[in-house]
Amino acid sequence: MTSPRTLAQQLIADHLTAGEAVAGEEIALRVDQTLTQDATGTLVMQELEALGLDRVHTEPSVQYVDHNILQADARNAEDHLFLRSAAQRFGLWYSGPGNGVSHPVHMQRFGVPGKLLIGSDSHTCAGGALGMLAIGTGGLDVALAMAGEPLRLRMPRIWGIRLDGELPDWVSAKDVILELLRRHGVKGGVGRILEYHGPGLAALSAMDRHVIANMGAELGATASVFPADERVREFLGAEGREDAYRPLAADEGACYDLQETVDLSTLAPLVAMPSSPGKVVPVLEAAGVPLTQVVIGSSANPGLRDFATAAAMVSGRHVAPGLSFDVNPTSRQLLLDLTRMGAVFDLVAAGARLHQAGCLGCIGMGQAPASGGASLRTFPRNFPGRSGTPDDRVWLCSPETAAASALTGAIEDPRVWAHREGVEPPRLDLPERAAADGATLEAPLGPDRARAVKLVRGPNISALPELDPLPERFDGPVLLKVGDDVSTDEISPAGAQALPYRSNLPKLADFTLTRIDPDYPQRAREAGPHVIVAGENYGQGSSREHAAITPRLLGLRAVLAKSYARIHWQNLANFGVLALEFTDPGDYDRIEPGDWLELPGLRAALANGDDCIVVHNATKDDDYQLTHRLSTRQLLAVLAGGAIPAHGQVRQRRETSMKPAAPRSVQDGMT
Amino acid sequence: MTSPRTLAQQLIADHLTAGEAVAGEEIALRVDQTLTQDATGTLVMQELEALGLDRVHTEPSVQYVDHNILQADARNAEDHLFLRSAAQRFGLWYSGPGNGVSHPVHMQRFGVPGKLLIGSDSHTCAGGALGMLAIGTGGLDVALAMAGEPLRLRMPRIWGIRLDGELPDWVSAKDVILELLRRHGVKGGVGRILEYHGPGLAALSAMDRHVIANMGAELGATASVFPADERVREFLGAEGREDAYRPLAADEGACYDLQETVDLSTLAPLVAMPSSPGKVVPVLEAAGVPLTQVVIGSSANPGLRDFATAAAMVSGRHVAPGLSFDVNPTSRQLLLDLTRMGAVFDLVAAGARLHQAGCLGCIGMGQAPASGGASLRTFPRNFPGRSGTPDDRVWLCSPETAAASALTGAIEDPRVWAHREGVEPPRLDLPERAAADGATLEAPLGPDRARAVKLVRGPNISALPELDPLPERFDGPVLLKVGDDVSTDEISPAGAQALPYRSNLPKLADFTLTRIDPDYPQRAREAGPHVIVAGENYGQGSSREHAAITPRLLGLRAVLAKSYARIHWQNLANFGVLALEFTDPGDYDRIEPGDWLELPGLRAALANGDDCIVVHNATKDDDYQLTHRLSTRQLLAVLAGGAIPAHGQVRQRRETSMKPAAPRSVQDGMT
């Protein structure tokens, strides 16, 4: 008899194709579903081309368009045509602009308890709300999964989070995840799967759980897992997909690697201060900050109850004069339901600017606040400048706090507002059956029709660049030294200026790290091969692999950091950048920008399996010990210049071999 | 007993403060109302500052925000804060982002039969639908009107357009104005006021008339005038403003300078081909052109019936796969009514992307189509590149044609679609009372509170530059030679790249004429004072005075053209650029780019009242005769370097004079 297992352990065991599910060991997992969005997807589709794929092995894989939808010039629309043609060619579903944000739409239309979903978006983890194992990864990992490769990652530790009690009035799911961020900060979930359990779950709907699972990304967690229970059955039933339901839960008596308890009844409205989702304080402490903008939307608060609650609060009232109250529906379905319920009328009559369905301001595509004006948003992130305004002051909160503050014109605790106005908490009458409609998603073409599809490649769609192998000896300058928690938003910015170039890597490279050093792209092009030195948690946030590939195009060959965020660390290996970690973090302080570093015999050392790499600082005549933590598979990728050339080598070896192929896990050199 | 007068003659007589209402003579008209939008308004507010205004003399003046609402960075939001503060300071109404497009909102909330409205937007003429005299002008003319100055213009000829019969099924107001454009082209209305009359009016609602009056701008007309009759009373009643109604019509037996008849019953659905609103053909001749995008919205089709008709046609159906069906509500009120009627649900369920209320794609703020993809729009204009896509192919049509084509995926005559589908024309049940709501418009502050307001001037708000007087002798090269019908969109582009700089003239100048010659700004800065040579109708389209001031900032001192569009001609004078017309149009062919032109004794010649200016071509040793057509007032502006320095001189003379001021018309040197 096996010992009782957590739900996360069950999901991993159900998908394990290689390795041992012991924390820290590399494991390989069979992938059931993938999602890609347009800002990362155009590159993924180019990777499928480079991999020579005929048709995806996953079922389903869905390509969403939710990021690049402003269409300030022809580039966005060209991306849409390219992605639609690629979805048709490779056998993916296609969800065009206007259908909404990938995460809630995927949950509504494709979510199935027990499945393993990966996606080239860091908030893919939201799918854990339905009892899926849902993991955000780099785009190339998604491409390889579509090509039939398993997902490889280090087995995380399982962090059991027990929810007790019930949320008080005016406190909602967003406050639960903000509470965890208040306790643990943006690195608190690194290397962990958060598994929620306990009696407090009973009163949290599937969409409430989506809110909590989604922002597990902000804790740095690998995934968040909720059981599939009655709330999940209700959700799937409302979508007309009750047959997708099956109950899932941790075994009685299962042990977690780590444990935590949240008593929901003790929570208060919380807010994340500028400019980190980890800087959380009670709303009461921030009350009175004058606002120029309030925004409701994004995958962090995508549910009907989130919008309907705000609508009920502003109904018959009007937002503060001069304040921009922006409402971003998260899906076409949500917009239809809100319209039917009268909530659209209430929001617009109260002064809302109702925008098209999509990510919009959450990814800096429009809705940039004025310089110096504070903006309060129900979004998941507020990294510096992510709004599109360099000196922005963006706060994060629940819909209740957002609506109360929009009416007041300053940050306000919804309980204080309700008391002052004599308002009872809204009792929402949500429809039992959502306005789900199949016509706006395009199903995959059959294999024969798919093979006849030509990719529609507008002038803005580049091809993947050739990547050269790691040289035998690598010397170069430290071109940049950065601190802790540098996000991929700072490495490869999103926003209305850069995002339209996500399909055009040479042009996108011009934006690399410019939020930290506007001259980096030019200096890098002049310097050639070079090194970046970083502190803790380098590459947190968004999964965009552009943050690995564009510095690489500019000559980055190695990063020396105290630690890395999971997805970015994998992306660096995928694109042939050597990610090294200081054995002694104190060495970080002994390196200065401009120092000349030497890594002699690098290739040989890596090929020999040395985990320890000695870096010589020629400027200071100093030596540092670093480790790489790379699996053999990752090492091969770095040596080959990236995972795509490495994949090509493997395929070539397979094709030229006269012997039957060895099991993939061995052949691919997994440790 | 006076002879019977046309309605236009009555309106002019009611507002005449100087001059004689004889075609071609300069007249001065008292201005009742003004409107400004944000793309031109930030400059107008800076002009009010430069004029030293304390409080507007007009009632009401309204500042709208409808153009720059994407907020790709902080600049748009900074403009909004600046405009709101300026509206408060100077005593204007303020309509913030999300309230909608200036023209329909002004008609709904402020339109009054018999009033004279001017606006810094070429489609201000739409107000003629209510029996107003509504004229688009340059921003400085609007600023001067707010300062109490009359509007000066040459008395147009009155063009009586008699409407007979009733429109057939599937043919609507847009087809009426497209028919006039088909007959007369984009210069057909130059120097004319179009006055609609006849029995065909009875079946055209006030909003139908708005469609027709709006696109009078595309004919180059000074204004379009409709009588105030029962349809106008109904419209004002639905807005809760029936007391604003008074009947107005031409006198029995009034004579028009020109006459035309349109038998509505003979009209068919029409479409304007790329890339001019004057290239009109029957939809049947264009049927089958594949589309990537269909857009419904803009001030050219802003009415509830326009959107409700499209909604009824797509209800229960779905637009063609892969086609982007964009719906731009023209006002908050419209969006509320459409929501209440169920039309929002029908549109979104059919696949529409529902956008925020505003101009959006009509002014190139988003919604740019893919390169090479055809786009069909209910907009007024399709000048090359105005969509944001350099090689765009934009077609213009009615909502009926747009909806049928969106369902088909290719341009289609709605009659053909209806016949094939067995569909009857929609019988709309429009609400008798609109969802008008006062809370979203901000009323002017009282004088004392207004004086305490400080302008909120973000980093992107420049001040007006100092303009130097015309030199005694002016020599310079022909830096650019262009053809006929160059629009102000080509001179100073709108669109998502340039529009955010409308408040930042030095930066905006970098975009000047780049659609025609990408190097013009750099060449102009290197060359200094220079000349542009142009064909017919130079400066058609939008009223933006940026098309005069930014070339001037780059060194433009004179334009030699065959003819000018009215508003741009006035704008050139307002900003001190000498606009000359060839006496012999054949001289146009004798000048080449790069030729060196000499205008000796220019200042003296102009000051002496010479209408004829001789320009010497030093390169070709050739001479040309040109005329300037400028009134004395305009001459003084050109000599002073622009109307603002000229105004300052006049004010100074007034203030230093010991004698009582002479009547303004004489003192300002009006001819």
Q: B229-285 pLDDT, tens per residue? A: 999 999 999 999 999 999 999 999 999 999 999 999 999 999 999 999 999 999 999
CB contact under 8 A, B318 and A292: no
| Whole-number pLDDT of residue A660 | 42
Choose the mutation target among B69, B70, B71, B330 for the interface with A, i.e. most A CBs under 10 Å: B71
Residues of chain A neighbouring B389 (CB-CB closer than 8 A): 73-74, 77
- Give Cβ neighbours of residue A39 (< 8 Å, ≥ 6 apart): A67, A68, A363, A494, A499, A502, A544
Interface with A, mutate which of B65, B85, B93, B348 (most A CBs under 10 A): B348
Judged by CB atoms closer than 8 Å, whether chains meet at B324 and A98 is answered as yes
Q: Chain B partners of A369 at a C-beta cutoff of 8 Å?
A: 71, 74, 77
Among A324, A361, A495, the residue with its CB nearest the CB of B97 is: A324
Quick check: pTM over 0.90? yes
Give the Å distances, CA to CA, from A342 to A303, A328, A346, A418, A558: 16, 16, 6, 22, 55
In this predicted structure, what is the pLDDT of residue B372? Answer: 87
Among A96, A322, A367, select the one facing B71 at the smallest CB separation.
A367
Determine the longest span between alpha carbons in chain A, in angstroms. 80
- Nearest by CB to B339, which of A73, A345, A356? A345
ipTM exceeds 0.90, yes or no: yes
A44 within 8 A of A17, measured Cβ to Cβ? no
How far is the alpha carbon of A311 from chain B, nearest alpha carbon, in Å? 14
Name chain B contacts of A361, Cβ cutoff 8 Å: 71
Can you give the C-alpha Rg of chain A in angstroms? 24
Contacts of B77 in chain A (CB under 8 A): 292-293, 324, 368-370, 373, 389
Burial tier of A656 (Cβ tally within 10 Å: 0-12, 13-18, 19+): exposed
Summarised one tens digit per residue, pLDDT across range B322-342 is 999 999 999 999 999 999 999
Burial A336-350 (b: 16+ CB within 10 A, else e): bbbbbbbbbbbbbbb
Asked if B354 lies within 8 A of A340 by C-beta distance, the reply is no
Of all residues in chain A, the one with the smallest CA distance to B346 is A336
Name which of B77, B370, B442 is nearest A78 (Cβ-Cβ): B370
Looking at every residue in chain B, the average pLDDT score rounds to 94
Q: Does the beta-carbon distance from B77 to A366 stay under 8 Å?
A: no
**Which of A335, A352, A369 is the closest to B74 by Cβ?**
A369
What pLDDT is recorded for position B655?
Answer: 65
Give how far A273 is from chain B: nearest CA, Å.
20
Q: Which residue has the tokens 């530790």?
A: A157
A357–B356 CB contact, under 8 Å = no
Q: CA-to-CA distance for B224 and B220, rounded, in angstroms? A: 11
Q: Do B72 and A388 touch (CB under 8 A)?
A: yes
**Most B CBs within 10 Å: which of A94, A348, A407, A503, as the mutation test of the B interface?**
A348
Please give, one letter per residue, the 3-state secondary structure of A270-313. Answer: EEECCCCCCCEEEHHHHCCCECCEEEECCCCCCCHHHHHHHHHH
Look at residue A668 in the predicted model and tell me its pLDDT. 36
Residue B201's H or E segment, with its range, is: none
Is residue B106 within 8 A of residue B202, CB to CB? The reply is no
| B38 contact residues in A (CB cutoff 8 A) | none
∠ CA A460-A465-A470, rounded to 5°:
155
Rg (CA), chain B: 24
Cβ contacts of B589 within 8 Å, gap of 6 or more:
none
Residue of B436 and B248 predicted with greater confidence: B248
Cβ distance of B370 and A345 shorter than 8 Å: no
Closest Cα of chain B to A421: distance in Å? Answer: 19
> Tokens representing A164?
């007790």
- The DSSP code for B82 is H
Running DSSP on this structure, what letter comes out for residue B470?
Answer: P
Among A365, A371, A390, select the one facing B78 at the smallest CB separation. Answer: A371
**Interchain contact, A348 vs B336, CB within 8 Å:** yes
Cβ atoms of A277 and A399 within 8 Å: the answer is no
- Put simply, the answer to whether B459 touches A371 (Cβ < 8 Å) is yes
Which residue from B minimizes the CA distance to A293?
Answer: B77
Q: Given an 8 Å threshold on Cβ–Cβ distance, is A98 in contact with B70?
A: no
What's the rounded mean pLDDT across residues B215-225?
97
Cβ neighbours of residue B468 under 8 Å, at least 6 residues apart? B641
Q: Do B371 and A70 count as a contact with CB atoms less than 8 A apart?
A: no
Chain B residue closest in CA terms to A94: B322
Amino acid at B157: R
pLDDT above 90: residue B144: yes
Partner-chain contact A77 B345, CB within 8 Å: no
**Where does the pLDDT of residue B1 fall: very low under 50, low under 70, confident under 90, or very high at 90 and above?**
low
State the count of interchain CB pairs (< 8 A) between A and B.
Answer: 178
Residue A669's pLDDT is: 34
| pLDDT for position B668 | 36
Three-class DSSP category at A611:
coil
**CB distance B71–A368 less than 8 Å?**
yes
Of the candidates A292, A357, A496, the beta carbon closest to that of B77 is on A292
Beta carbons of B320 and B449 less than 8 angstroms apart: no
Do A339 and B345 count as a contact with CB atoms less than 8 A apart? yes
Could you list the beta-strand ranges (E) of A2-41: 16-18, 26-29, 33-36
Band (pLDDT 50/70/90 cuts) for residue B503 is confident
**B346 touches B307 (CB < 8 A):** no
Residue B586 distance to chain A (closest CA, Å): 39
* Regions of chain A where pLDDT drops below 50: 658-671
Residues of B in contact with A335 (CB under 8 A): 348, 354
Predicted confidence at residue B660, as pLDDT, reads 41
Chain B interface, best mutation among A68, A73, A331, by max B CB count within 10 A: A73
Which chain A residues contact residue B361 at CB under 8 A? 71
**CA-based nearest distance B194→chain A, Å:** 36
Which pLDDT tens digit goes with each residue over A254-306?
A: 999 999 999 999 999 999 999 999 999 999 999 999 999 999 999 999 999 99
Residue B334, pLDDT score: 96
Enumerate residues 6+ apart whose C-beta is below 8 A from B660. Answer: none
Chain B hits for A348, Cβ within 8 Å: 332, 335-336, 339
Cα nearest neighbour of A364 on chain B:
B72
Nearest CB to A74: which of B76, B84, B368?
B368
CB contact under 8 A, B72 and A70: yes
Chain B: give the shortest CA distance to residue A339, in Å.
6
Collapsing DSSP states into helix, strand and coil, what is residue B134? Answer: strand
Q: Is the pLDDT of residue B172 over 60?
A: yes
Query: Which pLDDT score, from 0 to 100, does residue B610 have?
Result: 84
* Percentage of residues of chain B with pLDDT beyond 70: 96
Which domains does chain B carry? Answer: 9-266 (3.30.499.10), 270-421 (3.30.499.10), 474-669 (3.20.19.10)
Closest residue in A to B88 (Cα–Cα): A322
Question: Chain B residue closest to A336 (CA)?
Answer: B345
- The pLDDT score that the predictor gives to residue A661 is 39
Q: Which residue of B has its CA nearest to A74?
A: B370
Neighbouring-strand partners of residue B196: B161
CB < 8 Å to B98, chain A: 324, 351-354
Taking only the tens place, the pLDDT of each residue in A308-320 is 999 999 999 999 9
